[in-house]
Structure 1
Amino acid sequence: MHLVMNLFIGALLCNCIPHLVCGLTGERFPTPFAKPRGVGLSSSLMNFIWGALNALIALLLIFKSESAFAQPHNLIPAAIGFLLMGLYLSVHFGKVKQTSTRPE
């Protein structure tokens, strides 16, 4: 169970970064609340809220963890979750940006 939780912690921490950055810089960026979902652009405020929620959930999972999170056997799954989410998001948002900048 700790393995799955640590994977989710890494994924949530990775996902919070682009949303917090866009929220704090005033840029629009896709969120699950946009239309179409995950492709349309949400406001910078929505991005900040979504990024902060991802970070908060990750922190709550870290604190709820019954083992020391900083131990290598816990950080490795979190790092894998971070990398997997980063790979997925880079491909997904790369396609979204290509579609949105393509002339019609």
Structure 2
Amino acid sequence: MENAQNENPLKTRWYHYIFAFFAGIFLVNILPHYIHGITGKPFPTPFADPPGKGLSSPVLNVLWATINFLISFSIYYFAKINKRTKWIWIAVFAGGVLMSFYLASYFGALGLA
């Protein structure tokens, strides 16, 4: 019982790395939707018909970018990523890099790159 009281609440657990990885994924997914949205260009979103392939309005793209931001920020805030080790930031970076390559491949195949 005494051990549980003295345990550091900010001790990094395995699932914090998964949270950080997904925070990186959602952070990078903000970019193409936000950029297309604010420049007034249609771009695919999950709300398009067909989902992820059809084009959505610029306003819907800004909305999707905002949703991605809120998800990423929620992960960052609730997992207290800023209070953890440099390895957490490496997980954020890894998620971002993986998503970058995925988006380049996916949108390139749609002829949008």
Answer yes or no: is 1:24 the counterpart of 2:38. Answer: yes
**Map of 1:41 onto structure 2:** 55
Q: TM-score, normalised by structure 1?
A: 0.88
Computed over aligned residues only, the root mean square deviation of the Cα atoms, in angstroms, reads: 1.4
Runs of 4 or more consecutive aligned structure 1 residues displaced over 6 Å after TM superposition: none
Answer yes or no: is 1:15 the counterpart of 2:29. Answer: yes
Identity of aligned residues (%): 36
Structure 1 window deviating more from structure 2 (32-41 vs 64-73): it is 64-73
Structure 1 residues 10 and 69 mapped into 2: Cα distance closer, same or farther (>3 Å)? farther
**Map of 1:101 onto structure 2:** none
CA distance in 2, matches of 1:62, 1:31: 23
User: 1:69 Cα shift?
Assistant: 5.1
**Map of 2:103 onto structure 1:** 89
> What residue identity is the alignment partner of 2:94?
I
CA distance in 1, matches of 2:81, 2:28: 21
The question of whether the paired residues in 2 share the 8 Å contact of 1:13 and 1:58 is answered with: yes
> What residue identity is the alignment partner of 2:110?
V
Structure possessing the higher radius of gyration over alpha carbons:
2
User: Which consecutive unaligned segments of at least 5 residues does structure 2 have?
Assistant: 1-14
**Map of 1:76 onto structure 2:** 90
CA distance in 2, matches of 1:58, 1:12: 5
The question of whether the paired residues in 2 share the 8 Å contact of 1:10 and 1:79 is answered with: yes
Provide the secondary structure at the position in 2 that maps to 1:97: coil
User: Which consecutive unaligned segments of at least 5 residues does structure 1 have?
Assistant: 99-104
